[in-house]
Amino acid sequence: MGPWLLLLFIVGDILGTGIYALTGQVAKQVGGVVWLPFLVAFIVAVITAFSYLELVTKYPRAAGAALYTHKAFGIHFITFIVAFAVMCSGITSASTASRAFAANMSNAFDLGLTGTIGITLIGLCFMALVAIVNFRGVGESVKANVVLTCVELTGLLIIILIGLWAIGLGNGDVSRITQFATAADRGAFWSVIAATTLAFFAMVGFEDSVNMAEECKNPTRIFPKVLLAGLLITGIIYVLVSISAVTLVAPEQLGEGETPLLQVVQAGAPNFPLWIFGFITMFAVANSALINMLMASRLVYGMSREHVLPPVLGKVHASRRTPYIAIVFTTLLAFALITFVGEVPALGGTTALLLLCVFTIVNIAVLVLRRDPVEHSHFRSPTILPVLGAICCAFLAGPWTGRDPVQYKIAGILIGIGIALWVVNFLVNRAIGQKPAEPTMETTGGSGPVN
């Protein structure tokens, strides 16, 4: 794979539900400086990306935070918790996409279901469709990802162009981009931090891109430059989209409902066919949901095959050759999240919370694995970056950020389910004398959600 094709793949991996669904919620936290939390999230993501770059070029056939964790610490339970957290982040991310799909479908086609049980029903039907596609088996190719990336980019470029056009005509209010609107009980700093915990959801996906390193020509030289370039491009796009959005729509209005960018199109280009942009948005978030549910079900299947989850979850359908029990398990979890949680901020925030915890461990693993030299040359991150990365990610995961407590409840319940399954499986394995398999550093499976 050449650098340009790889760049498109990485950009497509990062783009998705986050910017389409959460721009309004970020604006609700900070007002007109909605671009600032996305910028802070971008900086934290870049710092962590340096750690992933060191690991993936040091172990070029390795894939995934769980495997890096096992290489660094060698404790099966910690490896399992990291793997299960990554799996859960995929389910919460897909559930966020499902909710965003339903809301955009209702608004774009004027179904009148906003704020009703209808949104939940559409989301459940959509997730059931994703499960059917997942069961049939989907071969994701780089060429297909290029097409999907172009569609996602088109939607965001439409927002940017509408914003620039409106500004050029003297419409909108550019002065809003410097205006803070903070909660009465906290100042500007803590408001930005609270908003960043949501905005970080828009930056996830880069960690999954490291799995393409072994498909590159001369990955040690090319991949770091391309990954950082991909992060820079998406960071710029997110900041420009945020500026366009808040210029055309007041922050308090942007924070209402679950379709903020549709409001921007309506305000900046009232003659633009709303259904077209709604279709683009639905397509973008649908792709995110499918990729994440594929990742989640395969992770459950893999953990079962390594004897750290009950063997029933590793069953493969006789004709389709897909892990149908794992697909049912992950889909039921998604159904529960869509039904009993539903709200995009809670689901997207939980995704970011889970991954921030995983990123904290990965940044620490980089420092631990400095004691494990390899014979070939590889990318080496400046030591200060993984230290800063671990501190920043742990800080953003903490309750002092103003994060909604419901996110900790959701994450705790999901991890609790995993621990319960692990305990049952441990007792069964001990009774029959079965030991967990040693995770291989040669897998090429997914490592995290695409947002």
Q: Would the pLDDT of 444 be above 60?
A: no
Question: 288, 331, 299: which is closest to 135 by C-alpha?
Answer: 331
Residue 14 near residue 231 (C-beta atoms within 8 A): yes
For the cut 60, the answer to whether the pLDDT of residue 261 exceeds it is yes
* Any domain includes 312: no
Listed in sequence order, the residues at least 6 apart from 242 whose beta carbon sits closer than 8 Å to its beta carbon are 23, 26, 34, 35, 38
User: What is the C-alpha separation between 339 and 352, in angstroms, rounded?
Assistant: 20
- Give a yes or no: residue 107 inside a domain: yes
Give 365-375 pLDDT, tens digit per residue.
Answer: 999 999 988 88
In terms of residue numbers, what domain contains 273?
A: 3-291+341-407
Torsion, Cα of 35, 264, 259, 250 (10° steps): 60
Q: What is the pLDDT of residue 388?
A: 97
CA distances (Å), 21 to each of 102, 192, 214, 384, 401, in order?
11, 18, 33, 34, 21
Radius of gyration of the chain (CA): 21
Residue 141 confidence (pLDDT): 45
Q: Are 265 and 274 in contact (CB under 8 A)?
A: yes
| Higher pLDDT pick, 401 / 441 | 401
Tell me, what amino acid is at 105? Answer: M
Tell me the C-alpha distance between 158 and 169, whole Å: 16
pLDDT given for residue 42 in this prediction: 95
Q: Look-up: residue for tokens 């942007």?
A: 254
Assign residue 360 the CATH number of its domain.
1.20.1740.10
* Residue 300 predicted with pLDDT over 70: yes
Asked whether residue 425 is domain-assigned, the answer is no
Tell me which of 45-54, 158-167, 212-221, 417-426 is least confident: 212-221
Residue 26 is assigned to a structural domain of this protein:
yes
Report the share of the chain in percent with pLDDT over 90. Answer: 32
Q: For the chain, how many structural domains are there in total? A: 1
- Whole-number average pLDDT of the chain: 84
Helix or strand or coil: residue 128?
Answer: helix
Q: Is residue 373 part of a domain?
A: yes
Question: In the structure, what pLDDT confidence band is assigned to residue 137 with cuts at 50, 70 and 90?
Answer: low
User: Which tens digits make up the pLDDT trace of 152-196?
Assistant: 888 899 999 998 888 888 888 888 999 887 765 677 888 899 999
Residue 33 lies in a domain: yes
pLDDT band for position 151 (50/70/90)? confident
Let me know if residue 433 belongs to a domain. Answer: no
Is there a domain that residue 109 lies in?
Answer: yes
